[in-house]
């Protein structure tokens, strides 16, 4: 089952611009995570936001969560060519299990 | 160095020939999980384990087996591989709930 759906599927921006990716999910959650994947490599955890949080920052990353709309956004400010990667949101199943459900990802290309 | 290792990294095999992909973590994490990644489908969870001798099915467990006899190891077993199991496989581990996961480098499997 696909819990998280990212939008857009692909995004191309110029270096220095901001990049915004969105994630929508279907059921109630305890937390939502964002991961980054460089081509064909393992995913790297970026940030986690809990269901009782609305916004969280980490360096150039800003994540928002709207549980009423069942959606989250990831903003990367002042993008760099090295930010080129795929970005995935992942949600828990809403219970206390370790089950994680990933979206299909947004491919970000930052042009130098 | 804290890491999740997978072996082999690349494997080409034939239909029906049993294979095992090993996964090991040196971070004393309780939680481990296996995912497969296919184009356009994101990551789908195959099995996960909350601790030694405790495993549970993810979204796509058919055709796979796992075991967790030791905390550090979580092998993925394909008893009779089929071409539809051709995929990129990732192992991940996490120390706690919520599962902010550390991913291995991936195993690219081709079943002919």
Tens digit of pLDDT for each residue in A26-81? Answer: 888 889 999 999 987 889 999 999 999 999 999 999 999 999 999 999 999 999 99
User: Residue A92 and residue B98: Cβ atoms within 8 Å?
Assistant: yes
Give the number of C-alpha atoms closer than 13 A to the C-alpha of residue B43, restricted to the C-beta side. 31
CA pair distance B79, B98, nearest whole angstrom: 31
pLDDT of A2 strictly over 50: no
Measured between alpha carbons, how far is B15 from B73 in angstroms, rounded to an integer?
26
Sign of the torsion angle spanned by Cα atoms A78, A80, A82, A85: positive
User: Which residue bears the tokens 């029906």?
Assistant: B16
By Cβ distance, the residue of B31, B43, B92 closest to A88 is B43
User: What string of DSSP letters covers B30-81?
Assistant: SEEEEEEEETTTEEEEEEEEEETTEEEE-S--TT-EE--SSSSB--EEESS-
Q: Which residues contact A1 (CB under 8 A, 6 or more apart)?
A: A101, B59
Q: Name which of B40, B45, B103 is nearest A99 (Cβ-Cβ).
A: B45
Q: Do A100 and B33 touch (CB under 8 A)?
A: yes
User: What is the pLDDT confidence band of residue A99, given thresholds at 50, 70 and 90?
Assistant: confident
Residues of A in contact with B105 (CB under 8 A): 41-42
Q: Has residue B67 got a pLDDT over 70? A: yes
Task: Say if residue A85's pLDDT is above 50.
Answer: yes
Neighbouring C-beta atoms of residue B27, cutoff 10 Å: 13
Cα dist from A39 to A36, B28, B88, whole Å: 10, 28, 12
In angstroms, the first-to-last Cα distance of chain B is 36
Q: Residue A101: which pLDDT band, with cuts at 50, 70 and 90?
A: confident
Cα dihedral: B56, B62, B67, B71 (round 10): -50
Between CA B74 and CA B25 the distance in angstroms is 9
Taking the C-alpha atoms of residue A19 and residue A58, their distance in angstroms, rounded to an integer, is: 15
Q: Which residue of B has its CA nearest to A90?
A: B43
Size of interface A-B (CB pairs under 8 A): 67
Q: What is the pLDDT of residue B45?
A: 92
């Amino acid at each position: 089952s696909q819990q998280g759906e990212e939008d857009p599927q692909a995004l191309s921006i110029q270096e220095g611009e901001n990049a915004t990716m969105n994630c929508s999910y279907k059921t109630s959650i305890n937390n939502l995570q964002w991961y980054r994947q460089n081509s064909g490599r393992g995913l790297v955890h970026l940030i986690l936001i809990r269901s009782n949080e609305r916004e969280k920052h980490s360096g150039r990353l800003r994540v928002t969560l709207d549980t009423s709309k069942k959606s989250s956004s990831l903003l990367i400010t002042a993008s760099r060519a090295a930010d080129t990667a795929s970005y995935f949101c992942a949600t828990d199943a809403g219970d206390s299990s370790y089950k994680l459900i990933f979206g299909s990802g947004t491919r970000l290309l930052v042009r130098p | 160095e804290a890491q999740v290792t997978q072996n082999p990294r690349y494997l080409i095999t034939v239909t029906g020939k049993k294979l095992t992909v090993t996964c090991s973590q040196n971070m004393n994490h309780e939680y481990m999980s296996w995912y497969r990644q296919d184009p356009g489908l994101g990551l789908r969870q195959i099995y996960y384990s909350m601790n030694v001798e405790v495993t549970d099915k993810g979204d796509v467990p058919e055709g796979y087996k796992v075991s967790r006899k030791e905390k550090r190891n979580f092998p993925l077993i394909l008893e009779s591989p089929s071409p539809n199991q051709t995929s990129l496989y990732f192992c991940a581990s996490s120390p706690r709930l919520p599962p902010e996961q550390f991913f291995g480098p991936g195993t690219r499997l081709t079943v002919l």
